Structure 1
Amino acid sequence: MNKQKKIEILQKIIQIDSVNANETEVANYISSLFSKFPDVEIQKITYAPHRDNLVLTIGKNNGPMLGFTGHMDVVAPGNLDDWNYDPFSATIADNKIYGRGATDMKSGLAALVAALLELLEQGTIIPGKIRLLATVGEETGEYGAAQLTKQGFADNLAGLIVAEPTSSMQKIIYTARGVIDYKVKSYGKTAHSAEPEAGINAIDNLIVFYHLALERLRKFNKTDTVLGGVTHSITKIKGGEQVNSIPSYAELMGNIRTIPDYPNQRFYDELEAIIAELNQREGFNLAITYSFPEEAISGKPDSQIIKIAQETHQQIFGSSAKVTGSSGANDGAEFLQAKGNFDSIEIGPGSNTSHQSNEYVEITDYLNAITFYKQFALNFLQDKEIKNHASQIY
């Protein structure tokens, strides 16, 4: 595949507006690239209308199966006046491709796709299988990855690469914080503000929860040597009907970033204990819900997949990558809950412009990623330790 075709694949994927929806168009485009290869297994898994996950499997040989994954959704572009180019134009300037998702993470996804296409075009004998898991909804809850995991598409992988951006592929991420997004609803009773005693102030009750939650979650104070400590922030709050009425409803949302020392259940138990305690008080009526929480990824800094990634990094870049952790969650947290015992790493192209205006990826960075993924797949599937482990599974 020539350089221009590789660039064109990324441009076309960026040009599809998949802001928290419409991933089916991305899935259809990627599928079309593989339609001329009869031995490729192509499956679209519907999450919702216009939201299809895509699973592509190449290789017929017995042996390990390597997972590649990237998400097809992007965040909203924000204020268009802050962009130098249309965020869905995939404009090329100064050896960069600009656009929403150029870094997070359509360049990583496109690089995985191009690497698979090159292996197929060159007739490379693959000593095992490679499965691409292209997901919906990563930016808003990783529910595409959750769906694919529940349906068995990640079962018994030998390893998984998550192509999220990692400083132009100069970092290998093996551990990551988990995340808990929660919402607390407070129900009160409306009344005229001149007679507040006739009502129940839902905002007042919510503020009591607010302070108790901040105070009691401070006890989760262990520090991970790579990821740091737990963070907890109240990030959204609203309530009330009008200024001269006692509010009958209020709600807040909180965000917790967890570390491997603390399973998410510890936080659920604490938050729910606060809710139960307050609901014993007169006038309190609180309820809590969670939005697609993810466990922290502990990982192993000396796992075989990291050793192979470093070997490949030396081959392609002539240097070692930094082995470290990430403060953000990724789809790997869901896929690691599949059957089997495998490790995941996160390594991908991209700049430090994720979710920002004028998001871009260096073209050289993107092209290097294609070369890396292609070589990594061959190194991984030929590795004796990986093959021996896989033979015990199949």
Structure 2
Amino acid sequence: MKRENALSILKKLIQIKSVNQNEATVADYIADLFHPYPAAQVTRVEYAPGRTNLVITVNGQADGKIIGLAGHTDVVAPGDVANWKYPPFSGTEAMNKIYGRGATDMKSGLAAMVCVLLDLLAAGTPFNGKIRLFATVGEETGEYGAAQLTKQGFADDLDALIIGEPSNLNVEYTHRGVIDYTVMSVGKSAHSAEPQRGINAIQNLLLFYPRIQALMASKDQVDPVLGGLLHNITLISGGDQINSIPARAMLSGNVRTIPAYPTKNLMTEITQLVAELNQIDGVHLEITYHYPESPLPGNPKAPFVQLVKQIAAERLDREIPVVGDSGATDASEFIHAAKRFPIVIFGPGNDSGHQVDENVVISNYLAAIQIYHQVIDTFLK
């Protein structure tokens, strides 16, 4: 694909304001790119009105392995637009970069994958097996789309998957998971001069705090790449006014997990802690979880990981680190497919995601297209 065509696709993706919604517009644009090619099977999977996942499958000439490519179509809010050097949804090209919200996280990775499939279809080059592109909704707020597609079986037959999240063109094979939780304490209001008539929701909530801190501190295994489990209380509120016994209080916490401590196991222990505290007279705590994300286990010496590393090193003429990521990705959902397959996170984006003046280096974007293409070709052979 010509440079200007590849850049045009990326710029048009950035210009679509898919801030935590409106992903259907992105799906429609990508689907239209594949309309001239009957060999591409385009499947729309609606998550909610205006929020559409896209699955594009290109079949080879014979049975063989199936490689997946995945990218999400939503972006985070741009914040104060006045602080941006260029309008965040302009896709401005300047100083050998493309600027805009999503340029790094992760419309450049998604656009590069789209370009590879369009190139293959236009060339008509025969290959064995299948290539399947996933364009998912809701990654930034909970991997909704990846979860939906996984539950519906779209990833069950994969043999390998590349997720185009920003990695500075390094190879990531593992990452943390996330547990966001909220504990609500329900009490009874009363005048502060007669506290015996009420139930102090704040005092009961504070029973939870030292217990959860101790529980998380007991998880002391350290992952050689990701480090230890992280836990922080990040929100707290309660009460109505200073001379009233508070009837409600709330705190929220964030856990960044590692493969040694599976998400479901940790959630079970936290829930049991809340149940234990509720045995105390007058204590009424309620816990809710917000789209928990599993950590991604992986093997840095897995053949697919090493394949991507080798091809990237040859193309970029540098050593390619094999590393982990402190954040979570759609891999947190795809690992729940019917069979295990290796997952590599590899994309052209940098560390400017979620920031003012988010950008991607044009040469990295174009290199990603070539690397994806060669990985696909080599893997399917």
TM-score normalised according to structure 2 size: 0.96
* Match status 1:102 vs 2:80: no
Instruction: Name the amino acid aligned to 1:378.
Output: D
Instruction: Name the amino acid aligned to 1:263.
Output: P
Q: What residue number does 2:312 align with? A: 313
Distance 1:79 1:125 in 2: 48
SS of the aligned residue for 2:104 comes to coil
Contact 1:312 1:379 survives alignment (8 Å): no
| Aligned alpha-carbon RMSD (Å) | 1.3
Distance 2:193 2:370 in 1: 70
Q: What residue number does 1:115 align with? A: 116
How many residue pairs get aligned? The number is: 380
Q: What residue number does 2:25 align with? A: 25
Matches within 5 A, 1:50-129: 50-61=50-61, 62-129=63-130
Q: Decide which moves more: 140-149 or 53-62.
A: 53-62
Matches within 5 A, 1:1-394: 1-61=1-61, 62-167=63-168, 169=169, 171-382=170-381
SS of the aligned residue for 1:325 comes to strand
Distance 1:320 1:307 in 2: 12
1:312: Cα distance to partner? 1.4
Listed one character per residue, the Cα deviations across residues 262-281 of structure 1 (whole Å, up to 9, x for unaligned) are 12233123212221121111
Contact 1:99 1:359 survives alignment (8 Å): yes
Q: What residue number does 1:390 align with? A: none
Q: Decide which moves more: 340-349 or 267-276.
A: 267-276
Listed one character per residue, the Cα deviations across residues 79-120 of structure 1 (whole Å, up to 9, x for unaligned) are 223212211111121111111111011111111111111111
**Unaligned regions of 5+ residues in structure 2, if any?**
none
Listed one character per residue, the Cα deviations across residues 215-245 of structure 1 (whole Å, up to 9, x for unaligned) are 2210000101111000001112222233443
Contact 1:127 1:378 survives alignment (8 Å): no
Distance 1:265 1:272 in 2: 11
SS of the aligned residue for 1:294 comes to coil
SS of the aligned residue for 1:292 comes to coil
Distance 1:66 1:308 in 2: 13
Instruction: Name the amino acid aligned to 2:159.
Output: A
Distance 2:128 2:323 in 1: 29
**Unaligned regions of 5+ residues in structure 1, if any?**
383-394
Listed one character per residue, the Cα deviations across residues 288-329 of structure 1 (whole Å, up to 9, x for unaligned) are 111221222111111111121123113321233101111111
Distance 1:269 1:351 in 2: 36
Change (3 A) 1:287 1:335: same
Contact 2:39 2:121 survives alignment (8 Å): no
Listed one character per residue, the Cα deviations across residues 111-159 of structure 1 (whole Å, up to 9, x for unaligned) are 1111111111111212211000111111111111010000000012010
Instruction: Name the amino acid aligned to 2:18.
Output: S
Distance 1:84 1:263 in 2: 42
Contact 2:42 2:57 survives alignment (8 Å): yes
Distance 1:109 1:293 in 2: 24
Instruction: Name the amino acid aligned to 2:186.
Output: Y
Percent identical residues: 51
Contact 1:312 1:372 survives alignment (8 Å): yes
Distance 1:191 1:138 in 2: 43
Distance 1:238 1:43 in 2: 44
Contact 1:156 1:342 survives alignment (8 Å): no
1:60: Cα distance to partner? 3.3
1:37: Cα distance to partner? 0.3
Contact 2:300 2:306 survives alignment (8 Å): no
1:358: Cα distance to partner? 0.9
TM-score normalised according to structure 1 size: 0.93
Distance 1:334 1:42 in 2: 21
Instruction: Name the amino acid aligned to 1:276.
Output: A
Distance 1:321 1:233 in 2: 33
SS of the aligned residue for 1:369 comes to helix
Listed one character per residue, the Cα deviations across residues 14-63 of structure 1 (whole Å, up to 9, x for unaligned) are 11111111110000000000000011100010111101110000123311
Contact 1:203 1:239 survives alignment (8 Å): yes
Distance 1:244 1:365 in 2: 60
